A and B are shown apart, each in its own frame.
Chain A
Amino acid sequence: MFAPGLAGSLAKVAGHTTTKSRLSRLVDEHIDFVARILRNAGTAEADIDDEVQRVFIVLSNRLDDVQIGCEKSFLLQTALHIAARSRRTTARRREVLTDQLPQIADPVSTPEELADRRQMRQTVDQILGQMDNDLRIVFLLYEVEQMTAAEIGIALKIPQGTVASRLRRARADFRDRVSTLEHGLDSQVG
């Protein structure tokens, strides 16, 4: 029906259009997830906008290799990789550019202060920051992202038994730290 060149051009146009609409849809579906993973994995708030773009640019460059249905897993792995790099960069920046200590949430803030959103964020950042990275990631995916152990295993490419053991240790660690915080609050109120 068409000349071979025209058919090729039409196929290219159709392919390009499909790619664009797929990317657009993936941004709509997963941008909040990606931002949350980056932030909760330790990326500074000021860097979130740029790092989210980086994650999706990586996806865009590799889109042909990513199977339909596996995009969220790819985005998760990319976001974790970028968050790790971002944390290292931030740590280096602190070491080189400033002699001030990073701001740390007061462990014995009053309940009223904890109600303040910012204080809450600092507190939870501090708790997560003290956790082992592997444990923290599994903990976040299970407790915050509500993923199943099987999904986490597939996404992180680790056996399900490892997911279970990391989750158990992570929960114990998190609960210990929150409990310490609660005792601090109680003793201050009391």
Chain B
Amino acid sequence: MDEPERLLDGNGTALERTLLQELRSYRGPEEMRAHTLAALGATGSTGLALGGALAWLWGKTWGTKLFLTVSVASILVGVSAGYFILRQGAAPPAPPAPPTIAAMRAVQPLPGPVPATPPAVLAPSASPTPPPLARVPRRGVTTSKDLRAELEALDSVRSTLARGDFSGSLTLLDVYFQRFRHGRLHLEAEVLRIDALARSGQADVARSYAKEFLQRNPKSVHASRLQSIVGP
């Protein structure tokens, strides 16, 4: 088929070309890419996975393999966590340390919903009040560098979660909310926290937070995922 010359290539009037140029020059919001990557969880943890695989290959006995894997994972998580802790300029709690509910509450800045059921897995001596979700403004003045740092921080959380270290991921989320008080990825971080709570056995707490999240963000792209936590 002979294709007609495109209007933008000179076949159109000046106004036609201007209007088409307007359509062609559209770019989405600045933070769109970061939000999409955060929603997909598609950054960072590649290094962790590769490191773990190499450690398995390198080790000769099962004991060595296990030791090397744990070491590589610790180094990679430690380096990334240490990076954004140092960027804070203060002396925050060491991220890999197993947290207690009390310790987690101590670093939570703002109150959240209070479900009736006490947490089932973490420190039994802790109060029944669960760690509240951080409730800080979602949008703030941030640079693309900050956005990248936010993505890296959430990716560390995701990697920790993928390894099954639920309490570690909750601690990293606390650090995230402390560091990025006006971050752009708070919704994604809240979803990760709900995920971590659910997978750590605190189903009631997770359900309560998920309900509250869905009330605030009924049209969120994460809604269907959280709906499965809330249940029918």
Contact = CB atoms under 8 A, between A and B. Distances in A.
B7 interface: yes
Contact of A175 (B16, B23, B24, B35): B16
Contact of A32 (B6, B22, B28): B28
A41 to B, nearest CB: 11
Given A171-B4, A178-B19, A20 B221 contact: no
Contact of A13 (B7, B8, B52): B52
Given A27-B40, A143-B7, A39 B19 contact: no
Contacts of A182: 13, 15
A39 B53 CA distance: 42
Interface string A57-68: 100100000000
A49 B26 contact: no
Contacts of A178: 13, 15-16, 19
A22 to B, nearest CB: 9
Nearest to A117: B22
A182 to B, nearest CB: 6
A144 B49 contact: no
Q: How large is the interface on B (under 10, 10 to 19, 20 to 34, 35 or more residues)?
A: 35 or more
Given A35-B26, A143-B6, 16 more contacts: A10-B56, A20-B41, A24-B42, A36-B27, A49-B28, A52-B28, A52-B32, A52-B35, A117-B22, A120-B18, A144-B8, A144-B20, A144-B23, A171-B4, A182-B13, A182-B15
Contacts of B45: 20
Contacts of A20: 41-43, 45-46
Interface in A55-92: 56-57, 60
Contacts of B37: 24, 27
Contact of A48 (B15, B16, B32): B32
Interface in A1-25: 6, 9-10, 13-14, 16-17, 20-21, 23-24
A56 B39 contact: yes
Given A40-B23, A178-B15, A31 B1 contact: no
B19 A53 contact: no
A160 interface: yes
Contact of B49 (A17, A28, A39, A140): A17
Contacts of A188: none
A140 B7 contact: no
Nearest to A40: B23
14 contacts: A13-B49, A17-B46, A17-B50, A20-B45, A21-B42, A24-B43, A36-B24, A49-B28, A52-B35, A143-B7, A149-B1, A149-B3, A178-B19, A182-B13
A163 to B, nearest CB: 8
B33 interface: yes
Interface of B: 1, 3-4, 6-8, 12-13, 15-16, 18-20, 22-24, 26-29, 31-33, 35-37, 39-43, 45-46, 49-50, 52-53, 56-57, 219-221
A103 B167 CA distance: 50
A91 B194 CA distance: 33
Contacts of A53: 35-36, 39, 221
A127 interface: yes
A88 B20 CA distance: 25
A160 B3 CA distance: 11
A186 B217 CA distance: 47
A22 B24 CA distance: 26
Closest 10 CB pairs of A and B: A35-B28, A23-B42, A53-B39, A24-B42, A124-B19, A53-B221, A144-B23, A36-B26, A120-B22, A20-B42
A69 B198 CA distance: 38
